[in-house]
Amino acid sequence: MAARSGVHTLGGRRLAAQVTGVAGERPGYRALAQGVRTLLLDGRIALHARLPAERELAVALGISRATVTAAYDLLRESGYAISRRGAGTWTELPEGARLTSVRTPLAGEDVIDLAIAAPGALADELSAAYAAAAADVARHATTPGYHPYGLPELRAAIAERYTGRGLPTLPEQILVTSGAQQAMALTLTLLGRPGDRIAVENPSYANALSVIRQLGLRPVPVPVTEDGWDAELFGATLRQSAPRLAYLIPDFQNPTGRLMPREQRQRIIADARATGTWLVVDETIADIALDVATPPPFASLVAGRGAEQIVTVGSLSKGHWSGLR
């Protein structure tokens, strides 16, 4: 995927290789359209990216141009592509688009499923943690057990962990949700209104884009290329488009895996402060660090006022075990 002047253009050979992986060799027009939809919905190709010219993709796939034309027509009819006169065909998401299939993860002790960012649990540590938690059940059972903001002890423990990582945090600043997806939905519902603009990385996490669409927010894409983020372009987007919110995944970005450098984080914070933009920072994958240290919280880089316009979303299941849900 190439990026020029903030525009993503999908190369014919690269898209052909990706489509072949999900639609098979020499796909028919329906299989080709479904393949592009699948790649778009799971984040493997970017939203608002320019698709290859029909002839270029046909040659790369070894199929007729008429087949590609029919596939593009089907994508436009279903809302997954738009055409601009003289500018080609671009990927799009229809209103209310959702993932259309449930994927069964690979299983087995000798298998690592790279399609999902969720490791298996350490069995001994998990058993010990459950045993320790079970010892407290009787004490909590004597109460109604309803804590809208989360169990006080849990909020205090999470706040202590953030403080230990360099972001002084009070328990009152912590809201425990049923998962990062709910945290995203609550945050965007509280801070945004239908029609508000929200800057998003392109490509980004498909499920987050789905929430954004469902809430009626208007995504403003900012490219994340093979070289990472362009902080200057990001700042220009905030100044020119004036989005009320910006959604970022600075730690091992989904789906590119990129880690945002410290100086780029500081620049984005400064630009967001200058434009009054709320930053919704997704740190759900921050703990899955293999060859580098776990990054400090994004908000820990804020000097003085400004942290009040950063909402950090974390996750227990991503870094420990998805079965905790």
My answer on whether 189 and 312 are in the same domain is yes
Residue 192 included in any domain: yes
Query: Could you tell me the residue range of the domain that residue 304 belongs to?
Result: 177-324
Question: Rounded CA gap, 140 and 130, in Å?
Answer: 15
Give the end of a domain, one of 91, 115, 132: 91
Structure tokens at 174: 């912590």
Q: Burial, 256: exposed, middle or buried (Cβ in 10 Å; 0-12, 13-18, 19+)?
A: middle
**How many helices and strands in the chain, by DSSP H and E?**
11, 10
Q: Are residues 191 and 294 in the same domain?
A: yes
**Contact by Cβ (8 Å): 41, 196:** no
Give dist(CA 219, CA 233) in Å, integer. Answer: 16
Q: Is residue 188 part of a domain?
A: yes
Q: Note whether residue 193 is domain-resident.
A: yes
Q: Is 153 part of a structural domain of the chain?
A: no
Q: Are residues 77 and 189 in the same domain?
A: no
Q: Check pLDDT > 60 for residue 153.
A: yes
Domain holding 204: CATH number?
3.40.640.10
Domain boundary among 45, 67, 91: 91
- Out of 71, 91, 111, a domain closes at 91
Gyration radius (Cα) of the chain, Å: 22
State the pLDDT at residue 117: 59
Give the span between the Cα atoms of 261 and 254, in whole angstroms.
16
Q: Helix (H, G, I), strand (E, B), or coil: what is residue 289?
A: coil
Q: Is residue 133 part of a domain?
A: no
Amino acid in position 316: L
Distance (Å, whole) CA 82 – CA 276: 32
Inside any domain, residue 58:
yes
Same domain as 186, residue 280:
yes
- 280, HSE (Cβ side, Cα atoms, 13 Å): 23
> Is residue 120, in this structure, part of any structural domain at all?
no
198 and 307 assigned to the same domain: yes
Cα–Cα separations (whole angstroms), residue 302 to 47, 170, 234, 269, 278: 30, 16, 18, 7, 13
Q: Quick check: 22 pLDDT over 70?
A: no
* Single-letter amino acid, residue 179: G
What does the pLDDT look like over 129-152, one tens digit per residue?
Answer: 888 888 888 888 888 888 999 999
Is 25 inside any structural domain? yes
pLDDT digits (tens, 9 = 90+) for 100-122: 445 555 566 667 666 665 667 77
How many domains, in total, are found in the chain?
2
CATH code of 24's domain: 1.10.10.10
pLDDT digits (tens, 9 = 90+) for 42-65: 778 888 889 999 999 999 999 999
Q: Which helix (H) or strand (E) holds 281?
A: strand 278-282
Does residue 85 sit in the same domain as residue 200?
A: no
pLDDT of res. 306: 57
Q: How far apart are CA 253 and CA 222, in angstroms?
A: 13
Q: Is the pLDDT of residue 1 over 50?
A: no
pLDDT of residue 2: 39
